[in-house]
């Protein structure tokens, strides 16, 4: 589980620094594997606007730019990025700035003076890949510190979860754990219902109600799939290890990471008839979003319409109903899976044997101390603690003396 520290602190912000927060999570059972800054160490980098560009007189691949950095006069900066153009807002390292491995000073490039450097995301340590200058939003304030504008004073935290802590597979789950261990107030996001403006509905038929007892959906019309994903959502996803794809896909991933509730978006216009939650038919095939075609059988749970399977439930959506940049109608959906009853588990820790079930009290055999009322054998002083008489079964010996003599405790 990877997430942004600033995203976590938007829900609960204890008076702990990053190292203390990581220690708290580890001691709470959420082992912190890594804490990494989201950007390199740099200073004196500001938001700049490219006012004009001219061809360099002595180099084909360089351009001489006039750049507004919020100072009294524009700066002259020589830039070789292929995407530099008038009107762009980009990061600019001023004279005296220190970037990872670079110090900025006045220089001459092919005989033309340059007083700064326009930066790519890779040069700032924000990304490993770069195809040119890092282009900022059009409303970015010129002269603002880039670290503050992009919230780069942040860390990406990776925790190693054990199977019993699925409740922390979301930002809210981790935030609840932090609030419980520090006593701080948990600020929950607003999840009030949104009043519908259209009456469109799509029928849902639960034909596999045991495997999926609940399936919900909502029709949304008039969406603009080409709209840019808000910057705060892009940052949250990228710092959680999820690639930003498009606004509609990013929203589903954002909700999943924040709330712990997986969602899926279908192109409403590509669905035919009602939604069927059923088991796959023998030999039925489905082309997934990764362009891989799989052959299904009755063990697989699928989401289907009246014509075909459109998603492999809980795994991946189908390509035929996928949203695209031309999508204008969306069917948002979420499902609930069956909660399986845990089988009885016998765990041997050497000094104790614990038998657990999902609905019963543990029966613990502790060696070697024993209360006087506990049943015992002369050669083995193991104690039996039975809070409830829910199980009577012959147990194997657990202490060293029992292994030697072969005695057995009875419930």
**Looking at the structure, do residues 215 and 332 belong to the same domain, yes or no?**
yes
Both 64 and 118 in one domain: the answer is yes
Q: Can you tell me the distance from the alpha carbon of 310 to that of 319, in angstroms, rounded to the nearest whole number?
A: 8
* Pair (278, 359) in one structural domain: no
* Cβ atoms 273, 262 nearer than 8 A: no
Confirm if 333 and 220 have CB atoms less than 8 A apart. no
SS3 assignment, position 287: strand
- State residue 340's pLDDT score: 53
One domain for residues 245 and 361: no
With respect to residue 196, please indicate whether it lies within any of the assigned structural domains.
no
Locate 39 and state its tokens. 């950007």
- Does residue 209 sit in the same domain as residue 262? yes
Q: Extract the residue ranges of the chain whose pLDDT is less than 70.
A: 337-411
Query: What local confidence, expressed as pLDDT, does residue 6 receive?
Result: 94
Q: Could you tell me the residue range of the domain that residue 88 belongs to? A: 43-149
The pLDDT value recorded for residue 358 is 36
Domain C-terminal end among 336, 365, 397: 336
- Per-residue model confidence as pLDDT tens digits over 184-203: 999 998 888 888 888 888 99
Task: With respect to residue 199, please indicate whether it lies within any of the assigned structural domains.
Answer: no
List the beta bridge partners of residue 221.
Answer: 329
CATH value at residue 319: 3.50.40.10
155 near 5, Cβ under 8 Å?
A: yes
Position 411 in a domain: no
Q: Which of 120, 84, 88 is nearest to 102 (CA)?
A: 120
278 and 397 in a single domain? The answer is: no
Domain boundary among the residues 310, 336, 362 is at 336
Residue 141 maps to a domain: yes
171 and 274 belong to one structural domain: no
C-alpha to C-alpha distance for 364 and 153, rounded to whole angstroms = 49
Q: Tell me the per-residue pLDDT of 73-95, one tens digit each, with 9 for 90 and over.
A: 999 999 999 999 999 999 999 99
Between strands 204-206 and 275-279, the pairing is: parallel
Q: Are residues 331 and 352 in the same domain?
A: no
8 Å CB contact between 376 and 343:
no
User: Residue 4 has what pLDDT?
Assistant: 94
Is 191 within a domain? no
pLDDT of residue 35: 95
Rounded-to-integer distance, Cα 128 and Cα 357, Å: 48
Kindly report the CATH number assigned to the domain that includes residue 162. Answer: 3.30.56.10
Is residue 320 in some structural domain?
A: yes
Task: Specify the 3-state DSSP secondary structure of 224.
Answer: coil
pLDDT at 337: 65
Q: Omega before 368 cis (within 30°)?
A: yes
Q: What does the angle CA 109 – CA 115 – CA 118 come to, to the nearest 5 degrees?
A: 85
Regarding whether 177 and 28 lie in a shared domain, the answer is yes
Residues 293, 330, single domain; the answer is yes
Same domain, 27 and 61: no
Domain with residue 74: its CATH number is: 2.40.50.140
User: What's the confidence (pLDDT) of residue 375?
Assistant: 40
Of 301, 336, 371, the residue at which a domain comes to its end is: 336
Q: What gap in Å lies between CA 30 and CA 189, rounded to an integer?
A: 23
Please choose, from the candidates 10, 17, 12, the residue with its C-alpha nearest in 3D space to the C-alpha of residue 35.
17
Q: Which residues contact 199 (CB under 8 A, 6 or more apart)?
A: none
Q: Work out how many domains the chain is built from and give that number.
A: 4
Instruction: Confirm whether 368 is domain-assigned.
Output: yes
In a domain? residue 228 = yes
Neighbours of 40 (CB within 10 A): 15
Residues 129 and 252 reside in one and the same domain:
no
């Amino acid at each position: 589980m990877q997430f942004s520290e600033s995203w976590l602190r938007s829900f609960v912000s204890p008076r702990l620094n990053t190292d203390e927060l990581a220690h708290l999570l580890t001691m709470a059972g959420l082992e912190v594997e890594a804490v990494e800054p989201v950007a390199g160490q740099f200073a004196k980098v500001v938001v700049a606007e490219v006012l004009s560009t001219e061809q360099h007189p002595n180099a084909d691949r360089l351009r001489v730019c006039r750049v507004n950095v919020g100072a009294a006069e524009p700066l002259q900066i020589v830039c070789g990025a292929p995407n530099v153009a008038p009107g762009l807002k980009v990061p600019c390292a001023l004279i005296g700035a220190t970037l990872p491995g670079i110090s900025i000073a006045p220089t001459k490039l092919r005989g033309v003076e340059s007083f700064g450097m326009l930066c790519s995301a890779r040069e700032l340590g924000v990304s490993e890949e770069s195809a040119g200058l890092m282009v900022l939003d059009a409303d970015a304030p010129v002269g603002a510190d880039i670290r503050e504008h992009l919230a780069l004073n942040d860390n990406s935290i990776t925790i190693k979860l054990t199977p019993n802590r699925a409740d922390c597979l979301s930002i809210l789950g981790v935030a609840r754990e932090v609030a419980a261990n520090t006593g701080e107030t948990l600020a929950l996001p607003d999840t009030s219902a949104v009043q519908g403006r259209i009456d469109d509905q799509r029928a849902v038929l639960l034909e596999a109600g045991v495997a999926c007892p609940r399936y919900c959906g909502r029709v949304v019309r008039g969406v603009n799939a080409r709209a840019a994903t808000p910057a705060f959502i892009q940052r949250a996803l990228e710092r959680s290890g999820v690639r930003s794809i498009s606004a509609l896909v990013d929203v589903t991933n954002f909700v999943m990471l924040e709330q712990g509730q997986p969602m899926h978006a279908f192109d409403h216009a590509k669905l035919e008839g009602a939604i069927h939650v059923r088991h796959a038919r023998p030999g039925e095939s489905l082309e997934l979003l990764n362009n891989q075609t799989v052959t299904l059988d009755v063990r697989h749970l699928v989401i289907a319409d009246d014509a075909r399977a459109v998603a492999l439930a809980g795994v991946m959506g189908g390509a035929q109903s996928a949203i695209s940049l031309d999508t204008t109608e969306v069917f948002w959906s979420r499902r609930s899976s069956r909660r399986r009853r845990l089988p009885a588990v016998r765990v041997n820790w050497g000094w104790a044997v614990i038998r657990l079930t999902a609905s019963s009290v543990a029966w613990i055999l502790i060696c070697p101390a024993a209360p006087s009322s506990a049943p015992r054998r002369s050669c083995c002083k193991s104690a039996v603690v039975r809070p409830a008489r829910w199980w009577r079964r012959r147990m194997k010996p657990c202490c060293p003396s029992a292994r030697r003599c072969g005695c057995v405790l009875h419930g």
